[in-house]
Amino acid sequence: MTALATEKPKRKSTVGHFRVWKDVYESLEQEAVKREVSLNTLVNQLLSAHVRDDVVWEEMGYVKLTKNSYRVLLNHISSDKLDELGPALARNTPRAMMLARTGKVDLEAVLDYLRFRSRSGWFSMDESNRNGSVTICFMHDLGQRESAVLRSYFVTLFGLAGIHPQVITTDSSVVVEY
């Protein structure tokens, strides 16, 4: 197979004309330079993230919370209650979102949901497939208490699709294998 045949097809684009406040335009130019992308690419990324993710978060009543504030909240939950937090967070909203996004709750819907969540910046997600097993590593910078919450969250979330993964945690990661 040639390199050309393995490339993803380019998205079709269209020309649109928008008026943008000067200070916003200058900020976009600076951000494009910082990210080492063209202004056009940056604007496409921002608009895509808005229509693909931000609109969904807004419809769900998303509350913006800094990681530091979340750490404070986690530290006020007793250690024995941390395991209860993950399943409570995984049961309702994720199921509704999976149904809204894909029309079903199965493994692909769970993975789609987790990819969506990883774009929010709370954790990064790296997927690999080795020897017939899928390994997903979720990296975060919120410490061991967050790993405990994520562990029970992922077990419950995959359980919605009938998958019972092996889960390993560290202070900064949760590895899910199925």
What would the pLDDT profile of 152-169 be if each residue is shown by its tens digit?
Answer: 999 999 999 999 999 999
CA-wise closest residue to 83 among 149, 141, 160, 36: 149
- Structural domain span for residue 39: 22-53
**Domain check: are 107 and 47 in the same one?**
no
**Domain check: are 105 and 147 in the same one?**
yes
**Domain check: are 109 and 172 in the same one?**
yes
What does the DSSP 8-state code read for residue 46? H
CB-side neighbour CA atoms (13 Å) of 161:
22
Judge whether 8 lies within some domain.
no
What global pTM score does this model have?
Answer: 0.71
The pLDDT averaged over each successive group of 10 residues in the chain (178 residues) is: 45 84 91 88 82 72 81 89 88 84 91 87 89 93 92 94 95 95
**Domain check: are 97 and 141 in the same one?**
yes
User: 């999976």: which residue's tokens?
Assistant: 98
**Domain check: are 113 and 46 in the same one?**
no
**Domain check: are 85 and 154 in the same one?**
yes
**Domain check: are 134 and 170 in the same one?**
yes
Asked whether the beta carbons of 87 and 152 are under 8 A apart, the reply is: yes
The values of phi and psi at residue 135, to 5°, are: -120, 130
